[in-house]
A and B are shown apart, each in its own frame.
Chain A
Amino acid sequence: MGEASPWRVDVDRDRCLATGGCVHALPALFEIGPDHIAHVIAAVDGEDELLLDIIDECPTNALRLRKEDDI
């Protein structure tokens, strides 16, 4: 049984402008959907340093990392 990750990355639809930096750095985790917004498409590892950098570097500040308490 795979363990569900408690981590989530929220994409703020009002902020995301599809610059695509997240998709370039982490193609297995992000994609730009047909709605031209970034989507999270895989389980999130909230301790991955590259992910933390990418969240910091998002030019429109559209990504938020959070941990779900009860999962």
Chain B
Amino acid sequence: MAVAATDTERVEIDFSIFNPFDPEYVTDPFPVVDRMLTQYPVAFHTGMNLWLVSPHDLADQVMRDARFSTRYEDWNDAPAPVPQEHWTLYDRCMAQSMLNTQPADHQRLRRLTAPAFSRRVMDQIEEKIRDNIIGIFDEIDDPTLFNFATDVAAKVPIRAIARMVGVPPDAEDLFEHGLGWNMVRATNPMYAAERDTLVQNSLPGLRYLHDTIVERRDREDPGDDFIGTLVGTEIDGERLSDMDILALIVALVVAGADTAIDLHSMAIKALLEHPDQRQLLRDRPELMLSAVVEILRWSGFSKLGGMPRFPMEDIELGGQVLTKGSLVFTLHAPSWRDPEKWPDTGRFDITRNHAGHIVFGAGPHLCIGMHLVQVQAKLMIQEFERRFGDSARIVGDIEYDPMHFNSRRVTTMMIGTGAS
């Protein structure tokens, strides 16, 4: 018998059903993933006070549907806004962020930033990052036995973003630690209690970046690199302000510095565990982009790393009513592994037809860094293959940090090689 959604009981779960911080979950999330898909496709988690949406089709719908806001002020439990007269650079920057702006402003920003993500600029960036990735491999103390997670994976994304932005070597530490990791956490609802400290710690890095942008705008020719293109782009008489550009760079850091780390660990894990697919990728390098999508899809490494959404009205989804102002997460691991969308879902197959995939999201907030992350993964895999080839193997068990909020963070993945 059909029951109106408003009359149905809210499906509630707690940490006994879904606990992304459980050591068992991080080691093997797939039993939980299956249970979420089959028994709790849309459920309210009473322990985390948020909705979780698991199936591919419903997650896809949430991300495309304009009735789901990404702005914190549309969240009932949002921290009280800081009065404007007390705004720091952090608050000014976040007000301009693509994650927080109204839909029309967001589209304006997206349009004005498109040239900076063009093929031309991306090719330029690929060249800059290539040296950087080779350098990371050069830094490995003992290439015959090393921890890939800390020696390579953890370093690639933030340094790639630093290179893309054009941060000089002497400011890399400020960018990586002063700004990067503080901002990643300050913008995550899981770290709400520490937010003030994190924000304070991010300010010197933000000031440095702001000064860099201002200095570039003062030049006669802002240049044709990433920041130069952002400073120079004019469409229909409109330009990006310094704060727009700062907010964009921060959005790249917040969304890309942490999430992409485990892409690299999972790429090496997937390829070393599937020698046939690894050989196929060597024989057919044109499969690289498809391989990156498949690594993300297959590995199910993401926990709560997506953008939070806030319903702007009561919205019915999968027989549940997601109430206005609640917090909603689409769960990546289940939606990327949903057997309704992906036949034989546990098979790692780089030749899969990935049409309709949502590994970079969907809707207006589709990952702006998706080309950058594909370039990173390609360069990392190429360099790993060039250096170590068939001699590389995983030594011992892979260890994870269960408490990491974003992903099944690999802390130890020892790689043994025949490198001399």
Interface residues of A (CB under 8 A from B): 14-15, 17-21, 23-25, 32, 36, 57, 59-60
Task: Say yes or no for B316: interface residue by CB 8 A criterion.
Answer: no
5 contacts between A and B (CB under 8 A): A14-B356, A19-B363, A19-B364, A36-B363, A59-B368
Within 8 Å CB of B361, what residues of A?
Answer: 17
Known: A14-B356, A17-B64, A36-B65. A59 touches B111 (CB 8 A): no
Chain B's nearest CB lies how many Å from the CB of A43?
22
Query: How far does the alpha carbon of A14 sit from the alpha carbon of B108 in the complex, in Å?
Result: 25
| B356 x A20 contact (CB < 8 A) | no
User: Across the two chains, which residue of chain B brings its CB closest to A58?
Assistant: B114
User: Across the two chains, which residue of chain B brings its CB closest to A50?
Assistant: B236
* Contact among A21, A24, A59 for B104, CB-based, below 8 A: A24
Within 8 Å CB of A18, what residues of B?
Answer: 64, 362-364
| A60 x B107 contact (CB < 8 A) | no
Within 8 Å CB of A19, what residues of B?
Answer: 110, 362-364, 366
Taken residue by residue from 366 to 379, chain B's Cβ proximity to chain A (1 for < 8 Å, 0 otherwise) reads as 10101000000000
Contacts across chains A and B counted by CB atoms under 8 Å:
47
* Contact among B60, B107, B356 for A21, CB-based, below 8 A: B107
Query: How far does the alpha carbon of A15 sit from the alpha carbon of B368 in the complex, in Å?
Result: 16
Query: How far does the alpha carbon of A21 sit from the alpha carbon of B114 in the complex, in Å?
Result: 10
| B104 x A36 contact (CB < 8 A) | no
| B110 x A21 contact (CB < 8 A) | yes
A-B contacts besides A19-B362, A25-B111, A32-B66, 4 pairs, CB < 8 Å: A18-B364, A19-B363, A21-B107, A24-B104
Interface residues of B in 92-137 (CB under 8 A from A): 104, 107-108, 110-111, 114
- Which interface class (under 10, 10 to 19, 20 to 34, 35 or more) fits B? 20 to 34
| A20 x B355 contact (CB < 8 A) | no
* Contact among B61, B110, B368 for A36, CB-based, below 8 A: B61
Q: Tell me which of A17, A21, A24, A25 has the highest count of chain B C-beta atoms within 10 A of its own C-beta.
A: A17
User: Across the two chains, which residue of chain B brings its CB closest to A59?
Assistant: B366
* Contact among B364, B368, B370 for A20, CB-based, below 8 A: B364
Chain B's nearest CB lies how many Å from the CB of A44?
20
Within 8 Å CB of A20, what residues of B?
Answer: 107, 363-364
User: Across the two chains, which residue of chain B brings its CB closest to A17?
Assistant: B362
User: Across the two chains, which residue of chain A brings its CB closest to B362?
Assistant: A17
Query: How far does the alpha carbon of A14 sit from the alpha carbon of B363 in the complex, in Å?
Result: 13
Within 8 Å CB of B110, what residues of A?
Answer: 19, 21, 24
| B362 x A21 contact (CB < 8 A) | no
User: Across the two chains, which residue of chain B brings its CB closest to A37?
Assistant: B64
User: Across the two chains, which residue of chain B brings its CB closest to A19?
Assistant: B366
Interface residues of B in 326-376 (CB under 8 A from A): 355-356, 358, 361-364, 366, 368, 370
Chain B's nearest CB lies how many Å from the CB of A23?
8
Interface residues of B in 225-282 (CB under 8 A from A): none
Query: How far does the alpha carbon of A18 sit from the alpha carbon of B356 in the complex, in Å?
Result: 11
Query: How far does the alpha carbon of A47 sit from the alpha carbon of B227 in the complex, in Å?
Result: 31
| B111 x A57 contact (CB < 8 A) | yes
| B65 x A21 contact (CB < 8 A) | no
| A15 x B355 contact (CB < 8 A) | yes
Query: How far does the alpha carbon of A15 sit from the alpha carbon of B355 in the complex, in Å?
Result: 7
| A24 x B111 contact (CB < 8 A) | yes
Interface residues of B in 263-318 (CB under 8 A from A): none
Query: How far does the alpha carbon of A41 sit from the alpha carbon of B370 in the complex, in Å?
Result: 29
User: Across the two chains, which residue of chain A brings its CB closest to B65?
Assistant: A36
Chain A's nearest CB lies how many Å from the CB of B332?
15
The 8 A-B pairs at the shortest CB distance, nearest first, are namely: A24-B107, A14-B355, A36-B64, A17-B362, A18-B64, A57-B114, A19-B366, A20-B364
| A21 x B111 contact (CB < 8 A) | yes
Chain B's nearest CB lies how many Å from the CB of A32?
8
Chain A's nearest CB lies how many Å from the CB of B158?
23
Query: How far does the alpha carbon of A57 sit from the alpha carbon of B113 in the complex, in Å?
Result: 10
